[in-house]
Structure 1
Amino acid sequence: MNLTSVFKNMGPGPIIAAAFIGPGTVTVCTLAGVNFGFSLLWALALSVVSTVILQEISGRLGLITGKDLSQLIRSQKGNPAFRYFSMGLVLVAIGLGNAAYESGNISGTNLGLQVFWEAPSIQLSGMEIQSGNLILGILAFLLLWLGNYKALERVLLGLVIFMSIAFAGTAILTKPDWSAVFAGFIPSWNDANLPTLVALIGTTVVPYNLFLYASLAKNRWSRSTDIPWMRRDIVISIVLGGIVSMAIVLVGAANVSTEINNAIDVSKGLEGVFGSFAKYLMGFGLMAAGLTSSITAPLAAGLVICGIMGWSQDIRSKPMRLAMGLIVLLGLIFASLGIKPVQLITLAQLANGILLPLISGWIIWIASQKEILGDFRNKPGHTIIAGIIWLVTLDLGLKSILAVLGISF
């Protein structure tokens, strides 16, 4: 097997990598490096392993059953009240959450764009509209409206590669102490870094990506013999995304600034290392991260909404376009008008804190059922490993809920 055949058979994995590396991930990884150096790299390594295991299960479910997770939830037998509760929870968590995060994605993309060009603000009826956010939101919507899954995969793969080069190049140029870097993969934590540790894992193990990959995998592959390709696709993509996140931590650790409000501030502290070139690398990296997430968040929400409601999930169908357009529009309104949807994001965090352990536990259980996956069900050893990962997601979910409620942990 050569490298050409691997890339030729790559599926939607890069979309998942693009989805979890957004402005929030860039900021969290940056601050992790600034505040704790390399000591939390092990948490990112754990999150990569956890994500690969859960995404492989979701991809296998989609490929073998021909249904994504939202369709499986809609068609599940048993207590109707539980089924409708599950459907409602997923709609609220994914729909509301992705609309809120789309605002941050668009704003983050514009933050990177400002390094190269600062779009003017528009005064309209006493309101200040950020034209950069408006332009980028329209761009994301047009890519979704005009594209197809294969085209989106190529666009996002290209952006992930360029993003990887930008952040990895920045990290290497900082000339880190590699012995200290490797020491960062030895697990350790304390009360001071625990919230950041939770945030690092939480930005990688994302509930809506489980829905997204199952849906895209069933469209990309249709035979059980394609499972090895699906596994290579998700492993390569998630590992690449993890390397990008780790590179951002290295960049943050090299920073000498006294005040950090966002990822771009890090570039100011790096100018002594390799001049003004730092801000262009960071700016491009943040812009690529924001744009990829600005595309994937509405795509995932659209697939989930249409799957739950039993509507067409074809990217060019009217229901998909309306659902994706609604998510982009809400994010665009919040971002363009300078509204900070704190309450929406808080509700989204609460919903996702509940959804992550529920969905991860559910897919682990259903993937062990012979009547669902037959010979491709989870083996006992696989289930045990996945169960350990589920305990991690449960802990993350509880901590997310406590954080929203203002309870220290």
Structure 2
Amino acid sequence: MADTTGNTSKAAAGGAPDSGPRKSSWRYIGPGIVVAATGVGAGDLVATLIAGSNFGYTLLWAAVLGCLVKISLAEAAGRWHLSTGRTLFDGWASLGRWTTYFFVVYVVIWGFVYGAAAMSSSALPLQALFPDVMDLEWWGVACGLVGLVFVWFNKYAVFEKVMTVLVGVMFVVTVYLAIRVTPNLGDTFAGLLPVLPDEKDSVLNTLGLIGGVGGTITLAAYGYWVNAKGWTNTGWMKVMRLDNRVAYITTGVFVVAMLLVGAELLHAANVSLASGDKGLVQLGDILEREYGTATATFFLIGFFATSFTSLIGVWHGVSLMFSDFVARERAARAGRPEARGEAIASGDRERSWPFRAYLLWLTFPPMVLLFQGQPFRLVIIYGVLGAAFMPFLALTLVWLLNSSRTPREWRSGPLSNVMLAVAGLLFLVLCVKQIWDQPWSEFF
């Protein structure tokens, strides 16, 4: 993006001028909206609803703290990209080949299972809205194909605009529902005090709510969307930080709104929701009984927007990461280390064959799982890898941003290091718990 201010005060990493706007401005934001939309999926909303139904307003503070933790992670990823001129995968690769092995296994297995989950999640509200049109599996296929075609033929600018519109739909629906259930404001503010529920496993449930909403690999993709927006050096640092705050304020609104719905609509009536995306279909039925068909239909539209933004966001963002991975590996094999990060620097990154190959991987092989169910062992491996990614991201960012790989003025300060360390420990505990809870005896 051209420098519109004439700000060329000093060189950024890699010798590029430190160009960018002198002041952060709302008119520049965009990647934050994308990461918020992608990170909040149907499963996240169900988890928040269940927390509200089980504990009322007690864990509202944990939902807010979770957003602050994610702000620190996304800011760190964006700061790495802008301050070094290198991509996050390039940073990981500098830590050793083990990061490459982890990423390859993760992105292949995770993408295969996630593709089916995303298509199924997007299909559920469509089938509820149009029950006589076709079966759930075929709605899932249709959603996957629409997502593929959209990301295949559009570059970031169009992608961002569509995501912004869908976020607007999500925002209006969740805020409307929160107002519709008439929350108790006194209890709401009391929920901001850090108190644990007086129940078994309350600590782990609280940690799960803190860590569970707002994205996994999409946090790592944030730096790639920052570059795709045209922000490529430290001149854009203030803008990126404003954009990141907007992302997680938006996420916080979604989370708080759904927790209020769970507390008022479900907790008081002692109604339990099914876990997983089907819980939202169940909520639609409850809303129809309590508030009428129009409110239920409005909610299902928001449910679709929530699910489909996660689908196309992953289709785009993780494909960018995969294209960067392939470009770096090819450059290393060809003896061209100076070509690192070229998948993001190139204007054709969204037209590259690795980008499109991963798009196809996310779309077509997972369709088999829609019709045959998810293989048990594959789901266990998927769960373990998914649990391991967030501590991997947090702890490698601590490593990268406190080393000579990052220019001194942009290394993490005390607050950033504390937040990243808290995030790393939080996700490490959740990772151990999830691995422990897997039915390993049935795996072998």
Structure-to-structure mapping, 1:9-408, within 5 angstroms: 9-74=28-93, 76=94, 83-118=96-131, 120-121=133-134, 130-187=137-194, 188-189=196-197, 190-204=199-213, 206-220=215-229, 221-253=231-263, 254-255=265-266, 256=269, 258=271, 260-261=273-274, 262-310=279-327, 312=343, 314-335=349-370, 337=371, 339-404=373-438
One-letter amino acid of the structure 2 residue matched with residue 217 of structure 1 = V
User: Is the alpha carbon distance of 1:396 and 1:320 closer, same or farther for their aligned partners in structure 2, counting shifts above 3 Å?
Assistant: same
User: Is the alpha carbon distance of 1:194 and 1:282 closer, same or farther for their aligned partners in structure 2, counting shifts above 3 Å?
Assistant: farther
Do the aligned residues in 1 keep the contact of 2:39 with 2:213 (CA within 8 Å)?
Answer: yes
User: Is the alpha carbon distance of 1:159 and 1:51 closer, same or farther for their aligned partners in structure 2, counting shifts above 3 Å?
Assistant: same
User: Is the alpha carbon distance of 1:227 and 1:18 closer, same or farther for their aligned partners in structure 2, counting shifts above 3 Å?
Assistant: same
C-alpha RMSD of the superposition: 2.3
Supply the distance in 1 between the matched residues of 2:272 and 2:391 (Cα, whole angstroms): 35
Cα displacement (A) at 1:174: 0.5
Cα displacement (A) at 1:138: 0.7
Supply the distance in 2 between the matched residues of 1:219 and 1:121 (Cα, whole angstroms): 37
Supply the distance in 1 between the matched residues of 2:322 and 2:70 (Cα, whole angstroms): 23
User: Is the alpha carbon distance of 1:331 and 1:247 closer, same or farther for their aligned partners in structure 2, counting shifts above 3 Å?
Assistant: farther
Aligned-pair identity (%): 22
One-letter amino acid of the structure 1 residue matched with residue 210 of structure 2 = I
Gaps of 5+ in 1: 78-82, 123-128
Could you say which residue in structure 2 is the equivalent of 1:80? none
Cα displacement (A) at 1:292: 0.6
Cα displacement (A) at 1:370: 4.2
Cα displacement (A) at 1:238: 1.4
Supply the distance in 2 between the matched residues of 1:6 and 1:297 (Cα, whole angstroms): 27
Supply the distance in 1 between the matched residues of 2:311 and 2:71 (Cα, whole angstroms): 22
One-letter amino acid of the structure 1 residue matched with residue 363 of structure 2 = V
Supply the distance in 2 between the matched residues of 1:382 and 1:373 (Cα, whole angstroms): 16
User: Is the alpha carbon distance of 1:342 and 1:301 closer, same or farther for their aligned partners in structure 2, counting shifts above 3 Å?
Assistant: farther
User: Is the alpha carbon distance of 1:193 and 1:102 closer, same or farther for their aligned partners in structure 2, counting shifts above 3 Å?
Assistant: farther
Supply the distance in 2 between the matched residues of 1:211 and 1:310 (Cα, whole angstroms): 17
Do the aligned residues in 2 keep the contact of 1:118 with 1:132 (CA within 8 Å)?
Answer: no
User: Is the alpha carbon distance of 1:222 and 1:370 closer, same or farther for their aligned partners in structure 2, counting shifts above 3 Å?
Assistant: same
Supply the distance in 1 between the matched residues of 2:201 and 2:421 (Cα, whole angstroms): 28
Cα displacement (A) at 1:198: 3.8
Do the aligned residues in 1 keep the contact of 2:40 with 2:251 (CA within 8 Å)?
Answer: yes
Cα displacement (A) at 1:332: 3.0
One-letter amino acid of the structure 1 residue matched with residue 130 of structure 2 = W
Do the aligned residues in 2 keep the contact of 1:41 with 1:185 (CA within 8 Å)?
Answer: yes
Do the aligned residues in 2 keep the contact of 1:59 with 1:214 (CA within 8 Å)?
Answer: yes
Equivalent residue pairs, number: 390
Supply the distance in 1 between the matched residues of 2:236 and 2:286 (Cα, whole angstroms): 47
Segment of structure 1 superposing worse, 6-15 or 45-54:
6-15
Supply the distance in 2 between the matched residues of 1:398 and 1:390 (Cα, whole angstroms): 12
Segment of structure 1 superposing worse, 280-289 or 306-315:
306-315
Residues 303-327 of structure 1, C-alpha deviations (whole Å, 9 max, x = no match):
2322222264511212101111211
Supply the distance in 2 between the matched residues of 1:104 and 1:227 (Cα, whole angstroms): 35
Equivalent residue of 2:130, what SS? Answer: coil
Cα displacement (A) at 1:111: 1.1
One-letter amino acid of the structure 2 residue matched with residue 300 of structure 1 = G
Supply the distance in 2 between the matched residues of 1:379 and 1:270 (Cα, whole angstroms): 47
Equivalent residue of 1:310, what SS? Answer: helix
Supply the distance in 2 between the matched residues of 1:324 and 1:121 (Cα, whole angstroms): 25
One-letter amino acid of the structure 1 residue matched with residue 223 of structure 2 = A
Cα displacement (A) at 1:193: 4.1
Cα displacement (A) at 1:102: 2.5
Cα displacement (A) at 1:121: 4.3
Do the aligned residues in 1 keep the contact of 2:147 with 2:315 (CA within 8 Å)?
Answer: no
Do the aligned residues in 2 keep the contact of 1:115 with 1:279 (CA within 8 Å)?
Answer: no
Cα displacement (A) at 1:342: 4.7
Larger Rg belongs to: 2
Residues 333-391 of structure 1, C-alpha deviations (whole Å, 9 max, x = no match):
323x1523554332122113223212211111211224423311112343233323322
TM-score computed with the length of structure 2 as normaliser: 0.81
